[in-house]
Structure 1
Amino acid sequence: MTSHYIDWIWKIRGNLTLAPGQTGDDAFDRLDPLFRQSGTAHKRTGETLTFQKKDQDAQDKMSVFDDGVLHIEQRGAEAVLRYQLTSRALLFCFLAPLLFLAIGQLTLVVGKYQKSSHEASDTKKPAVKKPDVPMNPIDKALGAPAPEKPKKDGSKPEGRKKKPSATTAYVFAGIFAVLYLVGRVLEDRLIKGVFKKKLWDL
């Protein structure tokens, strides 16, 4: 299986027809301001432009992308801009739910193991009945509460233990899953709109 079948997760591909009579030089001249942002390096060779971004500003309209290739292709009487853009942010949002689901499952497994080991240790301990300690007459006269009696199995009273829960991990997995789905669709439309606005003077 080639990477083309899975790299759609973090890569956005598209094409856009150029305005009538517009050449490749005209198109790249119009798109040039997008690649003169802070942290962006680009190179143009013939009808192909490649770029890379590092520590890009949040105000950059293409800040979500880390690198990419734009190519002008003649298709009959018209020219078409084809682009392929890579985003590590999209890849992170795709992998994050898987990570949190794994953490949730691990939490449940550890909790189950701790419960079984605790029950096993309790069965090994012999039940020892301790004599009731009489309450001090002074404490009784002052209205102090009686000491809590030990449990029937001889163990000391304990606070209510909180069971391990995977809910938090599942919530974060859901949040990142939604972020990825929304981002994958939204960024595809946004970047196409940015290119179209530059090329068609919209």
Structure 2
Amino acid sequence: MNLRLIDWIWHVRGTLPLAPAQSGDDALDRLAPLFGQPGTSYERASLDGAAQELTFTKKDQAAQDKMSVFDGGTLRIEAGADGAVLRYHLISRALLFCFLAPLLFLGIAQLTIVFDPHKNAPTEKAEKTKKADKKDEVVQLNPIDKALGAPAPEKPDKDDEDGGKGGSGKHGKKPATTPAYVFAGIFAALYLIGRILEDRLIRRLFRKTLAGE
């Protein structure tokens, strides 16, 4: 399987054209301060064909870091048809986690249903049939109680038969899967928003930095 078909989930790629008079050295010089943050290390190298490359990695990056969501990547200055361009390839474990988290919570919800302790309990219909049969039975007093004049046993109340108010006994309860579905939805929304937003934010950050803004 070609990893490129799925690595877009946590990889962000893009291309930005440089200003006509801007050189590769100048472009990387302007971008370098973005990688001078605590927990960030980077290297610059000259490649064949006048191309230049900056490779960086981040560890325990601070929240104030404008690129804190990314853990590493490569920025390359190359010659394009209309002039030099910046090609970037960034990697984010945070995006990968937000993508996998909904699958995890959906799995938890399914396991909750599979291992529901009331799953194999008698159904509500079977319980009602069984109780109806008991209700129709004629209750007989033993001879000693009858001789002593003891009253006949009373039939059970309907509320007692149904297991309490509202007729929902313990077998009517459903497994609590709602929290798992809620968290799955939250992380799915976080991923969709983050994947689109981070792509736009990093592009705008690079464009402003190259322009000296």
TM-score band by shorter chain is 0.7 to 0.9
Distance 1:172 1:152, change over 3 A: closer
Structure 2 CA distance, aligned partners of 1:14 and 1:170? Answer: 34
The CA RMSD over aligned residues, in Å, is 2.9
With structure 2 as the length reference, what TM-score do the two structures score?
0.75
| Equivalent of residue 197 in structure 1, options 179, 183, 208 | 208
Determine helix, strand or coil for the equivalent of 1:168.
helix
Structure 2 CA distance, aligned partners of 1:170 and 1:152? Answer: 34
1:153-164 pair list within 5 angstroms: 161=170, 162-164=173-175
Q: 1:11 is matched with which residue?
A: 11
With structure 1 as the length reference, what TM-score do the two structures score?
0.78
Query: Structure 1 residue 116: deviation in Å?
Result: 4.2
| Equivalent of residue 170 in structure 1, options 160, 163, 181 | 181
Q: Which residue identity lines up with residue 10 of structure 1 in the other structure? A: W
Q: 1:115 is matched with which residue?
A: 118
Distance 1:33 1:152, change over 3 A: closer
- Does the 8 A contact of 2:30 with 2:212 survive in 1? no
Structure 2 CA distance, aligned partners of 1:116 and 1:175? Answer: 28
Determine helix, strand or coil for the equivalent of 2:205.
helix
Determine helix, strand or coil for the equivalent of 2:210.
helix
Q: 1:134 is matched with which residue?
A: none
* 2:25 is the alignment partner of 1:20: no
Structure 1 CA distance, aligned partners of 2:16 and 2:161? Answer: 78
CA offset digits 1:122-181 (Å, max 9, x no partner): 9xxxx8x9x9xxxxxxxxxxxxxxxx989569x9xxx96443121111111111000000
* 2:75 is the alignment partner of 1:64: no
Structure 2 CA distance, aligned partners of 1:118 and 1:98? Answer: 29
Flag structure 1 segments of 5+ consecutive residues without an equivalent: 132-147
Distance 1:116 1:85, change over 3 A: closer
CA offset digits 1:47-87 (Å, max 9, x no partner): 01100000001000000000000100101351000000000
1:49-198 pair list within 5 angstroms: 49-111=54-116, 114-119=117-122, 161=170, 162-198=173-209
Flag structure 2 segments of 5+ consecutive residues without an equivalent: 47-51, 128-133, 142-155
Q: Which residue identity lines up with residue 86 of structure 1 in the other structure? A: I
Determine helix, strand or coil for the equivalent of 1:62.
coil
Determine helix, strand or coil for the equivalent of 1:115.
coil
Q: Percent identity?
A: 59
